[in-house]
Amino acid sequence: MQKEVNINLIRRLIVLLIVVSISACTSKPHVRLFTDNLSDADLLKIETKLSQSNIKYSRSVARFPTAITNNSILYTPTVNGNKDIYHIIEVLKISGFDISWTTIFKVENHSFTANNIGVYLFSDEFKAQQQTSTLAQLNDFGSVECGSQLTLNADASFQVLFDIWDEQISDYREEVVKGTWHESAKNQVTLSSNSWSTSLDFIKKISIETQANERIETMTLAPVNDLKRGAFYLLNKNSEPNINCLYRAHVVS
């Protein structure tokens, strides 16, 4: 009797695994459309085409990785991945946006799970602005370790944007940490927030290297406090994601 129960249980588990596997492989792609460098007119045109093509999508206001300077797609390979990518590229081309770069897995602090596809597009006026940026003008920094994007605004405020995968909704959920910043000393940046028990200090460093005839300038914001201490600065533990991380910004010329 016990053996029969065990065999039936195993059969049920096998069927369940097959169903889950099929569901994962056949799920429709979800486009994460990054809108930071799109005009309102271009955004409306692209969203209209995506809707007409029955492509699931959602907007993201997160800053682009600094390594992305042209229309690009970032994705994780799946069974039907190539077919989905080609279809999305064709829809974008009809909308007037040729994709010049596709890459898999991760660029700086941006990465996607299966069936989720990051689409980064530039309207003409924003493309020119992106290409003329210099390291001294940058105020956006990415952290691979914390999966976040730090922006130091001209009005002395800052925000750290997180794109967190939420298993309950099977989609990304955005969280934002806000506060103020100032240069507390030469090559030192200090961040503060009302929800913290103490400020966070970062040392600013600039390095330059040459690879394949390209000049790569990197600005790094390194935490003064030990990374292993985690979010020690929070008044309430786990009230917000940890931002005591290593941040970088790059300019390639």
Q: 92 and 52, same structural domain?
A: yes
> Looking at the domain assignment, is residue 20 inside a domain?
no
Task: Give the CATH number, domain containing residue 121.
Answer: 3.30.70.2390
More confident residue, 14 or 11: 11
What is the rounded average pLDDT of the residues 11-34? 53
Q: 92 and 44, same structural domain?
A: yes
First and final C-alpha spacing in the chain: 73
> Looking at the domain assignment, is residue 236 inside a domain?
yes
- Pick the last residue of a domain from 108, 130, 152: 130
> Looking at the domain assignment, is residue 22 inside a domain?
no
Q: 122 and 72, same structural domain?
A: yes
Name the residue among 154, 155, 198, 194 with its Cα closest to residue 177: 194
What is the rounded average pLDDT of the residues 8-35? 53
What is the rounded average pLDDT of the residues 113-138? 67
Name the residue among 122, 113, 126, 125 with its Cα closest to residue 46: 122
**pLDDT score of 20:** 35
Q: How confident is the model at residue 159 (pLDDT cuts 50, 70, 90)?
A: very high
Domain that holds residue 74: 28-130
Residue 80 DSSP class: T
> Looking at the domain assignment, is residue 152 inside a domain?
yes
Asked if the model's pLDDT at residue 37 lies above 70, the reply is yes
Q: 160 and 51, same structural domain?
A: no
Q: 141 and 58, same structural domain?
A: no
Asked if the model's pLDDT at residue 187 lies above 90, the reply is no
What is the model's pTM? 0.50
Q: How confident is the model at residue 151 (pLDDT cuts 50, 70, 90)?
A: confident
Say if strands 140-143 and 148-152 run parallel, antiparallel, or are unpaired: antiparallel
User: In terms of C-beta density within 10 A (0-12 exposed, 13-18 middle, 19 or more buried), how is residue 66 classed?
Assistant: buried
More confident residue, 181 or 170: 181
More confident residue, 67 or 247: 247
Q: 208 and 112, same structural domain?
A: no
Residues whose CB is less than 8 angstroms from the CB of residue 12 and which lie 6 or more positions away in sequence, other chains included: none
- Cα torsion angle, 37, 38, 40, 41, sign: positive
Asked if the model's pLDDT at residue 56 lies above 50, the reply is yes
Q: 178 and 126, same structural domain?
A: no
- Pick the last residue of a domain from 111, 130, 149: 130
Q: How far is the C-alpha of 220 from the C-alpha of 31, rounded, in Å?
A: 30
Name the residue among 180, 153, 179, 150 with its Cα closest to residue 162: 150
> Looking at the domain assignment, is residue 8 inside a domain?
no
> Looking at the domain assignment, is residue 21 inside a domain?
no
Q: 176 and 215, same structural domain?
A: yes
User: In terms of C-beta density within 10 A (0-12 exposed, 13-18 middle, 19 or more buried), how is residue 30 classed?
Assistant: middle
**pLDDT score of 47:** 94
> Looking at the domain assignment, is residue 187 inside a domain?
yes
More confident residue, 235 or 79: 235
Q: 244 and 216, same structural domain?
A: yes
Percent of the chain scoring above 90 in pLDDT: 19
Q: 184 and 101, same structural domain?
A: no
Percent of the chain scoring above 70 in pLDDT: 70
> Looking at the domain assignment, is residue 3 inside a domain?
no
**pLDDT score of 175:** 85
More confident residue, 15 or 241: 241
What is the rounded average pLDDT of the residues 44-67? 87
Render 172-201 in DSSP notation, one character per residue.
EEEEEEEEEEEEEETTEEEEE-TTBSS-EE
- Pick the last residue of a domain from 75, 101, 130: 130
Q: How confident is the model at residue 127 (pLDDT cuts 50, 70, 90)?
A: low
Residue bearing tokens 């507390």: 184
Say if strands 110-111 and 106-107 run parallel, antiparallel, or are unpaired: antiparallel
Q: How many domains does the chain have?
A: 2
Residue 11 DSSP class: H
Asked if the model's pLDDT at residue 24 lies above 60, the reply is no
What is the rounded average pLDDT of the residues 158-184? 83
What is the rounded average pLDDT of the residues 62-72? 77
What is the rounded average pLDDT of the residues 160-172? 77
Q: 240 and 172, same structural domain?
A: yes
More confident residue, 64 or 163: 64
Q: 142 and 115, same structural domain?
A: no
